[in-house]
Amino acid sequence: MGLLEKYAGDDLFELIDQVAKAEKLDEGHELLRSALETYGLEHVVYLAVNLPSEKRDRPLVAMTYSAEWQKHYAQRDYVDIDPVVKAGIGGILPVDWETLDRKHPTVKKFFGEAQEFKVGAQGISVPVRGRHGEFALFSVTSDLSPPEWSRLKQHLMRDLMLLAYNFHSFALKAEQIEDGDDYRDKLSFRESECLRWTAMGKSAWDTGQIMGVSERTVKFHLENARGKLHAMNTTHAVSKAISLNLIALY
């Protein structure tokens, strides 16, 4: 079972929408953290570099870590040596903190200190790429035992990929960076059609029959529409499309 499936459907949509409505990055973080704690996760950390805002030459960082660790981290310019940032920023694959090489003394010291400040024994960071050439890293940490953590991770990946991306979209909005998101403009006719039939209770197979395409094609259109609407799943996408007046139910 995925992390978010455990979260009852409506609560989850509400949480994501609440995060999207939060005005400051930290508020969004707090919302996410309190939700994630239920699943044995300790902290949520978000970092973005190369954002198009003129006033920003330092990375945009928001985290739920203790004020002491944040201060310590900032004072020592740890963002420049943080091995998680280094590993995450050079690629598109998620980075499990366990796989990082900790032999180097600076890195060893860094993780030692992080532990003292109760950052969490385990962590995973998901890179996000956006349309401004920017780069973000969304991390969660945990104090679960290694076997429990490894089990949780397996169920967590897809949800984390979705959360990371949706949180990044929210961060852009909080920073007043134009997302270029006019949903009406971005959905293709076929995608809206698939959403509309789904809203009317048709399965992907039914919809395929009606539209004269394969069930697989319907599923692909629905996934693409879900992505563009920043929704967590198809049901959420349908409810967003209805509330945004993108599909008419008649």
Residues in contact with another protein by the rule CB under 8 A: 90-96, 98-99, 124, 128-131, 133, 150, 153-154, 157-162, 164-165, 186-191, 214, 216-217, 219-220, 223-224, 226-228
Residue 202 · residue 54 · CB < 8 Å: no
- Of 199 and 237, CB closest to another protein: 237
Cβ distance to another protein smaller for residue 64 or 125: 125
**Which tokens in the block code for residue 111?**
């993780």
43 vs 228 by CB, closer to another protein: 228
Separation CA 89–CA 109 (nearest Å): 21
Q: Where are the alpha helices (DSSP H) in the chain?
A: 3-6, 9-21, 25-37, 67-75, 83-89, 105-116, 146-174, 183-186, 189-199, 204-211, 215-228, 234-243
Strands 60-63 and 41-49: antiparallel
Min. distance of Cβ 219 from another protein in angstroms? 8
By C-beta, is 7 or 69 nearer to another protein? 7
Among 142, 130, 225, smallest CA distance to 179 is for: 130
The minimum distance between CB 178 and another protein, in angstroms, equals 16
Interatomic CA distance for residues 136 and 146, integer angstroms? 26
- The nearest distance, CB 90 to another protein, in angstroms, is 6
Q: Which is nearer to another protein, 57 or 182 (CB)?
A: 182
* Closer CB to another protein, 70 or 227, in the complex: 227
Q: Report, in Å, the least distance between residue 190 CB and another protein.
A: 5
Q: How far is the CB of 98 from another protein (least distance, A)?
A: 6
Is there a contact between 144 and 163 (Cβ–Cβ < 8 Å)? no
Q: Which residue's entry shows tokens 């259109």?
A: 221
Tell the smallest beta-carbon distance from residue 216 to another protein (Å).
6
Tokens (6 digits) for 188: 């293709």
